[in-house]
A and B are shown apart, each in its own frame.
Chain A
């Protein structure tokens, strides 16, 4: 997976800014995408390209259980969010619905990666290559079940 980085250098990016409450009534995935990150970055929609990664701090996706949040990001083109940590419901929605990959990175990778950097993510090797800076970071491996669900393409394709 290759793409460029949209970086938000902050913790606790909550579901209310990822997909604000008034849009919860919408269940058209493409329409939700037009409101992604609206509470934090009005230009996100114009800026995001298919295959991009979001890089952020700890507790990404905290707040509500709205699956609209990973859906809006996914249908905007985001393939993975690389964060110091994730809130639990956002994490399982992203994985079980096969919307995007929630990848945990460490503090040094978080500090090193800049907005606009070009990254290549290699899940099998648990590695992230920064093509712009010519560096390699380790990602935290997915727990066993999570890895299997991702491989299957979501919870409904996974056979326990």
Chain B
């Protein structure tokens, strides 16, 4: 069995499973945020009207809560949703609630690794499609809707069809001007937005072994954009060190067998990779960045669970140091812990000297909700994960998806720019 099959077998109390088996798995951790939380509460209300008594969750210590989509509260409704979420965690005794304005808070997927909320070998589900992100720690991590999350909160388990696994092997390190974002965009361009539908995307090979934990998280984060159920990397010493730095050393790692089955193996040569950009209106609409050097931009956005981790901000700072931006540019670290590290490392000064607005962690503009959405016909280069019509604002705005290096280089020139071509 491969790592995913082994985790699902263990969590469903079976000796082995094969792709296609439907299993009810015991869940180790579950997350809701300020969109899926109120959604789950609406499901609870519906069930109560049918006579169900709901006064406790199966295990409050395995539930954690983030505030990220509509913080700072965009309007009265979103403010009310935060109140609902607060009442929910109080009523059900859920202690891990990362509140906006009270120390550590941020985008749920970023907190999942920054705060070591999920550990290798675990089954983790969340009320958000990018829950896949956390698979980079060696867990089975998948996104679910409100009804399914409500079911998990009450029963501690949920059904999954054991997925086929596509294995993506990276041979050798990526060049300095290429980031994990470029690799995952390349892969999505190759297999399409349904290329991994219902499947797991596993990443391995020497290039992945050499890759930082944060870069691996960029890969698993965007497996969602290929339709994948989950993304995963086998845990190694880098993961152990990452978790140890966060005070966690006890967990039960799972590794695939040497004769594990993969539906298909894709190979990529690190040295051949180039900066890639996904044009509007799909993450699969990819070309090399240099082919787009005539595209004029209105805005650069560096944020989200995909592209505002510490390493992403460090890459941006490398470009912006001693330069100024030519277009409206926003940088929103993905969590307060990253914001602080950016401050301690002198990155915020570099950003502000460059003329950039630095803002609080939020999903706001990434999902077109608030905090800097796009006007009609505006064109944005963004380190986020989706560029469907209207994703970041007006239905006739355009988003180009890129790595933090490409987004920063483009912010400096006002046109889509390969970092190698920056003077």
Contacts and interface: CB of A to CB of B under 8 A. Distances in A.
B422 interface: no
B151 A96 contact: yes
A143 B22 contact: yes
B191 to A, nearest CB: 12
Contact of A65 (B24, B145, B395): B145
For chain A, which range describes its interface: under 10, 10 to 19, 20 to 34, or 35 or more residues? Answer: 35 or more
Contacts of B35: 24-25, 66
A97 B145 CA distance: 9
A63 B193 CA distance: 9
Interface stretch (B73-81, B116-124, B265-273, B342-350): B73-81
Interface stretch (A72-80, A81-89, A111-119, A122-130): A81-89
Given A27-B38, A85-B197, A89-B145, 16 more contacts: A16-B390, A22-B368, A24-B367, A25-B81, A26-B77, A39-B389, A62-B193, A62-B194, A63-B386, A65-B131, A65-B143, A67-B145, A87-B194, A88-B227, A93-B146, A154-B147
List 7 A-B pairs, minimum CB-CB distance, nearest first.
Answer: A93-B145, A67-B145, A97-B147, A21-B367, A65-B129, A59-B194, A21-B368
For chain B, which range describes its interface: under 10, 10 to 19, 20 to 34, or 35 or more residues? Answer: 35 or more
B159 interface: yes
Mostly, the B contact residues are loop
Interface of B: 22, 24, 35-36, 38-39, 41-43, 47, 52, 69-70, 74-75, 77-78, 81, 127-129, 131, 143-148, 150-151, 159, 161, 193-194, 197-198, 227, 229, 282, 367-370, 386, 388-391, 395
12 contacts: A16-B390, A25-B69, A25-B77, A25-B369, A63-B129, A65-B129, A66-B39, A67-B147, A88-B198, A89-B145, A92-B145, A155-B148
Contacts of A64: 128-129, 367
A130 B115 CA distance: 55
A155 B147 contact: yes
Contacts of A24: 35, 69-70, 367, 369
A89 B389 CA distance: 20
Interface in A14-41: 14, 16-17, 20-22, 24-27, 29, 39-40
A29 B148 CA distance: 17
A39 B395 contact: yes
B148 A96 contact: yes
